[in-house]
Chains A and B, each alone.
Chain A
Amino acid sequence: MTSVYELMDYAEVIERFDPVLGLEVHVELHTNTKMFCGCANVFGGEPNTQVCPTCLGMPGALPTLNGKAVESAIRIGLALNCEIAEWCRFARKNYFYPDMPKNFQTSQYDEPIAFNGFLDVTLDDGSLFRVEIERAHMEEDTGKSLHVGGSDGRIHGAEHSLLDYNRAGVPLIEIVTKPIEGTGERAPEVARAYVTALRDLLKALDVSDVRMDQGSLRCDANVSLMAKDATEFGTRTETKNVNSLRSVERAVRFEMTRQAAILVAGGKITQETRHFDESTGSTSPGRTKETAEDYRYFPEPDLTPIAPSREWVEELRGTLPELPWERRKRVQDEWSLTDAELRDLVNAGAVDLVAATVDAGATPAEARSWWVAYLTKEANNRGVELSELAITPAQIATVIGLVNSGELTNKLAREVVTGVLEGEGEPEAVIEARGLKVVSDDSALEKAVDEALAAQPDVAAKIRDGKVAAAGAIVGAVMKATKGQADAKRVRELIIARCS
């Protein structure tokens, strides 16, 4: 489905309007079992194999609450500086949809478990932006519909649909921001930075896989524009299917330029759900309904209220790990990083990897140079996240150690790392298999030096005359002869010794 939109130039949008954002992030918790039943909570099983009467919504089946999910919800709330409800309930959100087994979602409505918090997010220039959190509440995920026979996997044009309920009942935490104002032109950047910060936080809490590509972290972006002289928020749209950090930024930017064009042309923004298309970077209207959905919320009578004791909440506060921003502050101090160096490290997503490499024996500078400078490029080339590269901090530390002991040159070290990335085994095995050991045997080198000097008598004469700079040509010849496995510094020493 391609539609043509009038879009306004971004600079003009900013000149005429103030953007207001609202971000709703759904996080799938990686508890062992689902929210309200004992089924396994695992991504990617054969369809309809992780189901039971409860998560299939069978007549008569009842929910029982997963205590671990409540614990995760409270820890997330605490990490987001929220208040934790002393008493709250689940509510039923009623609407019909084929992939929702009960045709109501067990969620929380006016009594969320956590509310009134904030998250300070770091922007690209290192400055902080505070995003206020409205609430974090618990709910269950729906199943998945697979539309067969259509052109693009969407329901429109499909011949039939298949339903997979493995995901139905997976615990979700929905984190909703208050309206984010005052971002100006940085609105798209703030949106991305917020989701990034939230992802890092949830990862540190170890409550979710936070994989946007697998849907364990999903972001809905609400965007509206206010004319510069306006006093009330404009009509907003809600963009779904925003499946990567980059898409968050693109979707917000697109909506801003689309809405601005409509508004200046005298049009009105339709309050609607829109669908982000990764390939075109544009949004298109989702299912339109003639009337606003009335979810007919009421307290879930099948579950008892949740009343977390203050003692338990404090106990959980004690389990919070070092949070990403605390960790960043600490590594900056410990590793003596400039703000720019810290930013590069954070932007590369390399803090944990560098720290682990340091723990395995490398210096922070060595570890940073590998992860931030070299491996980030490798990750880009391979189209994966840095943390998904098939090499461990311990392996990098090993390679660094071999360089320091002179057993590898930097060039050989990179080749060893390539071997590891290609799945050829541990660094030692790669060195063995590829024959990458530095030639440190002087007699072998001396032979190569002698041959090179003999092959270039003019150069040899110059060196003997004291023109040491000429030795470079001989070094090059020796390195070529030894296929780069010689230590260039040692070769130079041997040449000068031979010619004196």
Chain B
Amino acid sequence: MSDLIRSTAAELAARIASREVSAVEVTQAHLDRIGEVDGAVNAFLHVDTEGALKAAREVDDDIAAGAHVGPLAGVPIALKDVLTTEGVPTTVGSKILEGWVPPYDATVTRRLKEAGVVILGKTNMDEFAMGSSTENSAYGPTRNPWDLDRIPGGSGGGSAAALAAFEAPLSIGTDTGGSIRQPGAVTGTVGVKPTYGGVSRYGLVAFSSSLDQAGPCARTVLDAALLHEVIAGYDPMDSTSINAPVPPVVAAAREGANGDLSGVRVGVVTQFSGEGYQPGVLRSFEAAVAQLKQLGAEIVEVSCPSFDYALPAYYLIAPSEASSNLARFDAMRYGIRVGDDSTRSAEEVMSLTREAGFGPEVKRRIMIGTYALSSGYYDAYYGSAQKVRTLISRDFEAAFATVDVLVSPTTPTTAFRIGERTGDPLAMYKADLCTIPANLAGNAAMSLPSGLSDEDGLPVGLQLMAPALQDHRMYRVAAAYEVARDAAAGAPLIQGVPQLAGAAR
């Protein structure tokens, strides 16, 4: 296996900038890796070989010409297929957008291009980001590189699996209820949901507008921070984007790597343990908390009672917004069109297209959302859910009045087997139990590996949460923990991913 694909983004960027290796070589190495293993992993829905090599060549030309390039110039990235890419297909994992080639770039896409980050292609996801396993993709499930019979999490399973399979050193995910963090947790990678409004949603195909947030995914905390600073920042094209300086996450990650957390107060959320939590996950979490204490952090228990209502509130708010956001997929302007045989009305064509184009989970959520917003039910469902949302924000406020960051397991279990929960939506929804509160309140949260579960040898995620616009706090703690964890294990956790079939060298 080429050392290029095992390198961190920070190392690659430095080697490219110093012309020790070219961006084209780095890109080609990753394209080769994708060619070798993606048949088994199915992380990518579309690989843009030509576009990636062209972008890499431009970075090499710029560097050769002595131009100043960004801190991640020439580093390849995998982009979740929910972000629009001009001239490159964007399907959102759905049949209904099969073949759609957007005429415009998402702001995240544009910022990556401007920073010289090389976009390898688009990654697989649960249809419209609805799911926790990537099994809801219309284009087949993605498999977890740690165990190909298991799910890579969702909805951003493709972006997480691409990292764990060394197909890309960086990826972009989007997190509506945990879709960056839960895949990060079950694939042993780092995933960050920035503060809501920290990264522009322009060009992010909406699932739930008030919850969706794009964020960085990587194999190390520093790489995530570097990527975070490339994609974050105010965007006048997104009215909900925050007009404030980007939190200094790279500096925080570098500071944290010194390994000193004295003076940092860490709150353990008491609601997130007990029944339904895999014992190995809880043991890994407890070890992580002990490690933080050893690094000098002060550990306190914090109760956030409203978090118990986060899951039901989420499953009213997100489907409600989705039922409206997905109304535009009507066959009139883009995507597939079914039944247009000149005997049917526009309304009939809309209906047939939506019936054929949307998968069962998407239809389920559209129906839940349509019901929850109906007159006569609005107050009881959507209205009550919004009140819960306010209570959850208050719980966070109260907690952050006494602690700097909160911690919990990212998800109650390690990666489950493909097909294990597809017949039981409620069991599937519980994968996001711990991640949803941060989406409802809009504050920052991330997941990084806390090791492997002692009962099944699969990765476990540690979730860190910080107040809005204080994203740097969790980066500092995460970076300190990462160094200590790898020192204790003797090697980075991610190196434990098994060799993938056909990838032996």
Is there contact, CB below 8 Å, between B201 and A59? Answer: no
From 43 to 94 in chain B, residues with beta carbon under 8 angstroms from any chain A beta carbon are: 83-84, 90, 92
Q: Is A98 an interface residue (CB 8 A)?
A: yes
B491 CB to nearest A CB, Å? 40
A60-B102, A62-B202, A161-B346 given; A298·B320 CB < 8 A: yes
Is there contact, CB below 8 Å, between A64 and B205? Answer: no
From 350 to 387 in chain B, residues with beta carbon under 8 angstroms from any chain A beta carbon are: 350, 370, 373-375, 378, 382
From 35 to 58 in chain A, residues with beta carbon under 8 angstroms from any chain B beta carbon are: 53, 56-58
Q: Is A227 an interface residue (CB 8 A)?
A: no
Point out the residues of chain A lying under 8 angstroms from B236, CB to CB.
64
Point out the residues of chain A lying under 8 angstroms from B106, CB to CB.
60
Is there contact, CB below 8 Å, between A60 and B330? Answer: no
A53 CB to nearest B CB, Å? 5
A58-B103, A59-B97, A304-B240 given; A296·B332 CB < 8 A: no
Number of A-B contacts (CB under 8 A): 104
**B92 contact from A58, A59, A63, Cβ within 8 A:** A59
**A62 contact from B239, B373, B374, Cβ within 8 A:** B239
Of B218-226, B321-329, B428-436, B469-477, the one with at least 4 CB within 8 A of chain A:
B321-329
Q: Please classify the interface of chain B as helix (H, G, I), strand (E, B), loop, or mixed, using the class held by over half of its residues.
A: loop
A161-B346, A163-B332, A298-B373 given; A104·B238 CB < 8 A: no
Is there contact, CB below 8 Å, between A56 and B333? Answer: yes
Q: Is A160 an interface residue (CB 8 A)?
A: yes
Q: Is B347 an interface residue (CB 8 A)?
A: yes
Point out the residues of chain B lying under 8 angstroms from A298, CB to CB.
320-321, 324, 373, 378, 382
B194 CB to nearest A CB, Å? 17
Interface residues, chain A, with chain B CB atoms under 8 Å away: 53, 56-65, 92, 94, 96, 98, 101-104, 159-161, 163, 294, 296-298, 301-304
Is there contact, CB below 8 Å, between A60 and B370? Answer: no
Point out the residues of chain B lying under 8 angstroms from A65, CB to CB.
239
Q: Is B204 an interface residue (CB 8 A)?
A: yes
Q: Is B203 an interface residue (CB 8 A)?
A: yes
**A294 contact from B97, B240, B342, B374, Cβ within 8 A:** B374
B97 CB to nearest A CB, Å? 7
Is there contact, CB below 8 Å, between A304 and B206? Answer: no
Point out the residues of chain A lying under 8 angstroms from B103, CB to CB.
53, 58
Q: Which residue of A lies closest to B92 (CB)?
A: A59
A163 CB to nearest B CB, Å? 7
From 304 to 328 in chain B, residues with beta carbon under 8 angstroms from any chain A beta carbon are: 320-321, 323-324, 327-328
Interface residues, chain B, with chain A CB atoms under 8 Å away: 83-84, 90, 92, 97, 100, 102-104, 106, 201-206, 208-210, 236-240, 320-321, 323-324, 327-330, 332-334, 342, 346-347, 350, 370, 373-375, 378, 382
Is there contact, CB below 8 Å, between A302 and B327? Answer: no
Could you list 23 A-B pairs, sorted by A, with CB under 8 Å? A53-B102, A56-B333, A57-B328, A58-B103, A58-B104, A59-B84, A59-B205, A59-B334, A60-B90, A60-B202, A60-B204, A60-B206, A61-B104, A64-B238, A64-B239, A96-B327, A96-B330, A102-B327, A103-B327, A296-B370, A301-B209, A301-B240, A302-B239
With most chain B CB atoms within 10 A of its CB, the pick from A53, A62, A160 is A62
Q: Which residue of A lies closest to B376 (CB)?
A: A294
What is the CA–CA distance of A63 and B204 in the complex, to the nearest angstrom? 13
With most chain A CB atoms within 10 A of its CB, the pick from B84, B333, B374 is B333
**A101 contact from B92, B328, B370, Cβ within 8 A:** B328
Point out the residues of chain B lying under 8 angstroms from A96, CB to CB.
327, 330, 347, 350
Point out the residues of chain A lying under 8 angstroms from B205, CB to CB.
59-60
A474 CB to nearest B CB, Å? 79
**A92 contact from B201, B324, B342, Cβ within 8 A:** B324
A160-B342, A294-B374, A301-B209 given; A62·B332 CB < 8 A: no
Point out the residues of chain B lying under 8 angstroms from A301, CB to CB.
208-210, 240, 321
Q: Which residue of A lies closest to B97 (CB)?
A: A59
B304 CB to nearest A CB, Å? 24
A459 CB to nearest B CB, Å? 82
What is the CA–CA distance of A59 and B81 in the complex, to the nearest angstrom? 12
Point out the residues of chain A lying under 8 angstroms from B239, CB to CB.
62-65, 302-304
